[in-house]
Amino acid sequence: MSLRIVFMGTPDFAVPVLTGIIGHGHEVVAVYTREPAPAGRGMDLRKSPVHATAERFGIPVLTPKTLRTEEAAETFRAHGADVAVVVAYGMILPKPILDAPELGCLNLHASLLPRWRGAAPIQRAIMAGDAETGVAVMRMEEGLDTGPVGMVEKVAITPDMTAGELHDRLAAIGGDLMVRALAALSRGGLAFTPQPEDGVTYAKKIGNEDARIDWSADAAAVHDLVRGLSPFPGAFTSVDCGKGPERLKVLRTLRADGAGTAGTALDDALTVACGSGAVRLAEVQRAGSRPMRAEDFLRGTRIPAGTRFG
């Protein structure tokens, strides 16, 4: 049975869900997304990935600055939606919006709730060294990702998987999971289970202070930090590349043999000592340059053994 849906989402992660819903014959009557924002070198206004996708399908797009007005609530109710589907929208839904659709508001969240509620579940799962994560379809309520869960799909996090790779994997799986959840909902067969009170963790937004590499940490923690922040925003360190200390993003590392003073290069191939153990920098990016493999970087920049990273 086809449902009448309002879709609410913004980034690339939400696009497979939107296209999956459309592809399975549901009627998306409106798309809500964040308003265009300055981007690129020219800082031109750029529409969100969800905005651009909705326009390709001829779906009306709304970009309200707030949903906390009676006018916004009336506009939302006027869509006559059976259900709202929310994926990384970026705005809090107040109670009048949550209560408007007859079948409620479903959220696709990129974690195994209640672990990693909040803004950055993909990055935080990898940074913590988790061996698995997943996507969950949750019925939304006023709390932060506290609603009961209807469907879950688990995904293994392999030892060298980056946040970018996990993001793409979860986005594809999430699109299929939401389509299956809507099919069950339309038949009255989507059962929800309250989240357990044990095991709650919060995935706070990534700040600049989170991205600096702490070389006093052990090699596993440094490796997990780097892959958890790759490709964006990128873990970083400082090092003298020949003209004094400069910021260097580290996008991939490999576990390596060796030990020494934390933050010191152990050889001429970008092997760096950690608090215990060592890592080899496998992909790096200087400010204003493109990402490059370590061997390409070292062709133009010498980082001898004994160099300090900070």
Helix (H) / strand (E) containing 176: helix 163-186
Please indicate, yes or no, whether residues 216 and 172 belong to a single structural domain of this protein: no
Rounded CA-CA distance 306/73 in Å is 62
Please indicate, yes or no, whether residues 47 and 174 belong to a single structural domain of this protein: yes
Residue 235 is predicted with a pLDDT of 98
Residues of the chain with pLDDT under 70: none
CA separation (Å) from 255 to 132, 282, 286?
Answer: 20, 10, 22
Residue 9 is predicted with a pLDDT of 98
Which residue range forms the structural domain that includes residue 197?
4-202
For CA atoms 34, 122, 149, 196, the dihedral sign is: negative
CATH classification of the domain holding 266: 3.10.25.10
Question: Whose CA is closest to 112, among 133, 87, 140?
Answer: 133
Residue 103, helix vs strand vs coil: coil
Please indicate, yes or no, whether residues 192 and 260 belong to a single structural domain of this protein: no
Rounded CA-CA distance 92/146 in Å is 13
If one counts the domains in the chain, the total is 2
Question: Whose CA is closest to 121, among 194, 196, 204?
Answer: 204
Residue 277 is predicted with a pLDDT of 98
Residue 102 is predicted with a pLDDT of 96
Residue 274 is predicted with a pLDDT of 98
DSSP code of residue 40 = T
Residue 187 is predicted with a pLDDT of 96
**DSSP β-bridge partners for residue 285:** 249
Q: Regarding beta strands 202-203 and 117-118, do their DSSP bridges make them parallel or antiparallel, or are they unpaired?
A: parallel
Position 216 in a domain:
yes
Residue 44 is predicted with a pLDDT of 83
